[in-house]
């Protein structure tokens, strides 16, 4: 945990000013003050223009744990930003339409902080816009399948109008070589759940940046479920910008042999009396299975009365796997209710297995019970009984290696 001091503009270093007394030194070789590292998470550079970002080498803090060579085309190459086929379920009460990149709602939740996200932003021609309004609960599922193997960009904007209650599932399957941006705006008093479910083909590659703004007395439940795909990297960035706003950020992932699943979560408490909970859980099985979780929580100088906690838990089911788990917490005000973080990665508990077997349960069934029990905490947050049942079965198939 770091206690960050008050900082100036994120572009102070570009203006030639010295940031926190940092300056070039003999072993740094920075050359100019533009290379002074940012001092707090909120100061990261952002732009919608791909060319504004330096080339990615794989040594950068936000790329060093990602297989950059395998995703290079999505970072730098020309992308297909046209419309793609979608199947909409239960759209009554919601407005869903394709709009141009110049629509006023585009850019309302955030802007790219990395070169791949900016490439998608500047390449997208058609944006999928989803809006919820009214006080009657609305549930919608947007399904996409068969995007093809060509490098593609996508952009989605989700708006939950004032005092609305809505539940949205963004479900992806099939072939993909995709980089996308998802914007989420939760207006005053609204309650929105967004479930992002990744069930890609085995060779699919998917990079996603989610940006969310949560207004006064509003609530966002954001759930990322990544089960299949060769490389899947989903980075949610949530800003509690309205007083009394709340966010629950959940994640579930199951990495098999040779699979890379990555999540970089950022929760920014900007306004007073905000609350946030981050809880990601994952399982790893098979040689070369790799997961990355980075959790950044920033409690800003104006966020008095904040109550925040983040945690990540990983269950290792076999040898030859690797789980990186990095929680970070920055606090810029002392007037908070509480803040904390936790991380743990452990192998399958042989004592639990022995306990269950001693009561007449087979080894295979005991393993299923332990894994389901570990991951069910996240599944039960989804709020869709049919989808929860489906995911319970999908986890069992992952465990058995038959999916």
Q: Token digits for 139?
A: 């549930």
- The pair of three-digit structure tokens given for residue 312, joined into one six-digit string: 């990540």
Q: What is the pLDDT of residues 317-330, one digit of tens each?
A: 999 999 999 999 99
Q: Which of 6-10, 131-135, 163-167, 201-205 has the lowest mean pLDDT?
A: 6-10
Query: What CA–CA distance (Å, rounded) separates 200 from 177?
Result: 10
In our burial notation (b when 16+ CB lie closer than 10 A, e otherwise), range 246-265 reads bbbbbbbbbbbeebbbbbbb
Confidence band for 403, pLDDT divided at 50, 70 and 90: low
- DSSP assignment of 163-189 equals T-EEEEEEEEEE--EEEEEEEEEE-TT
What is d(CA 104, CA 208) in angstroms, rounded to the nearest whole number? 22
At 35, the pLDDT band (50, 70, 90 cuts) reads low
Segment 82-110 mean pLDDT: 93
Q: What are phi and psi of 29, to 5 degrees?
A: 60, 40
Q: Which residues pair with 233 in a beta bridge?
A: 207, 262
- DSSP letter at 357? H
Residue 189, by phi and psi: left (phi above 0), alpha (psi -120 to 50) or beta? Answer: left
**Which pLDDT does position 154 carry in this prediction?**
98
**Is the pLDDT at 14 greater than 50, yes or no?**
no
pLDDT at 180: 98
| Residue-level pLDDT at 401 | 76
CB 120 within 8 A of CB 151: no
DSSP state at residue 388: H
356-378: average pLDDT:
86
The residue with greater pLDDT, 115 or 92, is 115
Record the tokens describing residue 268, joined without a space: 């920014």
Joined tokens for residue 126: 């058609």
User: Mean pLDDT, to the nearest integer, of 176-197?
Assistant: 98
pLDDT for the residue 36: 57
Tell me how far apart the alpha carbons of residues 11 and 3 are, in angstroms, rounded to a whole number.
21
On the question of pLDDT at 33 being above 80, the answer is no
| Rounded mean pLDDT, 245-255 | 98
Q: Reply yes or no on whether the pLDDT at 355 is more than 80.
A: no
Residue 358's pLDDT is 83
Mean pLDDT of 71-99: 94
Reference 189, options 213, 214, 168; nearest CA is 214
pTM for this structure?
0.89
Of the ranges 228-237, 297-306, 360-369, which one carries the lowest mean pLDDT score? Answer: 360-369
Q: Is 81's pLDDT higher than 70? A: yes
Taking a C-beta distance cutoff of 8 angstroms, is the pair 347, 371 a contact?
no
CA distance 247 to 212: 10
Residue 151, strand partner residues: none
Opening angle at CA 352, ends 346 and 358, nearest 5: 160
d(CA 303, CA 137) in angstroms, rounded, equals 30
Percent of the chain with pLDDT over 70: 90
**The predicted structure's pLDDT at residue 259:** 98
Given a cut of 80, whether residue 168 has pLDDT beyond it is yes
pLDDT given at position 1: 42
């Amino acid at each position: 945990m770091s206690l960050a001091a008050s900082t100036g503009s994120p572009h102070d270093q570009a203006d030639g000013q010295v940031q926190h007394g940092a300056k070039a030194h003999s072993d740094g070789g920075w050359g100019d003050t533009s290379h002074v590292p940012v001092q707090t998470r909120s100061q990261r550079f952002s732009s919608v223009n791909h060319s504004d970002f330096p080339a990615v080498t794989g040594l950068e803090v936000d790329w060093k744990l990602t297989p950059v060579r395998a995703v290079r085309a999505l970072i730098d190459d020309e992308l297909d930003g046209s419309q793609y086929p979608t199947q909409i379920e239960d759209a009554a009460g919601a407005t869903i339409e394709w709009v141009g990149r110049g629509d006023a709602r585009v850019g309302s939740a955030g802007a790219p902080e990395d070169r791949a996200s900016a490439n998608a932003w500047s390449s997208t021609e058609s944006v999928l816009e989803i809006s919820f309004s009214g006080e009657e609960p609305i549930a919608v599922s947007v399904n996409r399948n068969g995007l093809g193997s060509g490098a593609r960009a996508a952009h989605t904007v989700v708006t939950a109008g004032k005092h609305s209650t809505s539940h949205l599932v963004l479900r992806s399957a099939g072939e993909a070589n995709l980089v996308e941006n998802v914007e989420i705006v939760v207006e005053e008093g609204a309650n929105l759940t967004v479930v992002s479910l990744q069930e890609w083909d085995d060779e699919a590659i998917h990079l996603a940046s989610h940006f969310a703004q949560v207004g006064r007395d509003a609530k966002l439940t954001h759930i990322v479920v990544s089960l299949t795909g060769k490389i899947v990297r989903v980075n949610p960035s949530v800003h509690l910008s309205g007083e009394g706003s709340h966010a629950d950020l959940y994640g579930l992932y199951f990495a098999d042999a040779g699979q890379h699943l990555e999540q970089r979560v950022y929760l920014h408490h900007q306004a007073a009396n905000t609350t946030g909970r981050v809880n990601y859980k994952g399982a790893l099985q098979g040689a070369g299975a790799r997961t990355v979780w980075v959790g950044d929580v920033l409690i800003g100088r104006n966020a008095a009365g904040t109550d925040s906690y983040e945690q990540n838990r990983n269950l290792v089911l076999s040898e030859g796997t690797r789980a990186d788990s990095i929680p970070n917490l920055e606090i810029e005000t002392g007037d908070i209710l509480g803040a904390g973080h936790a991380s743990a990665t452990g192998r399958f508990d042989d004592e639990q297995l022995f306990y269950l077997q001693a009561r007449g349960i087979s080894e295979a069934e005991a393993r299923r019970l332990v894994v389901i029990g570990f991951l069910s905490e996240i599944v039960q947050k989804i709020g869709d009984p049919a989808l929860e049942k489906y995911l319970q079965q999908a986890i069992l198939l992952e465990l058995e290696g038959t999916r």
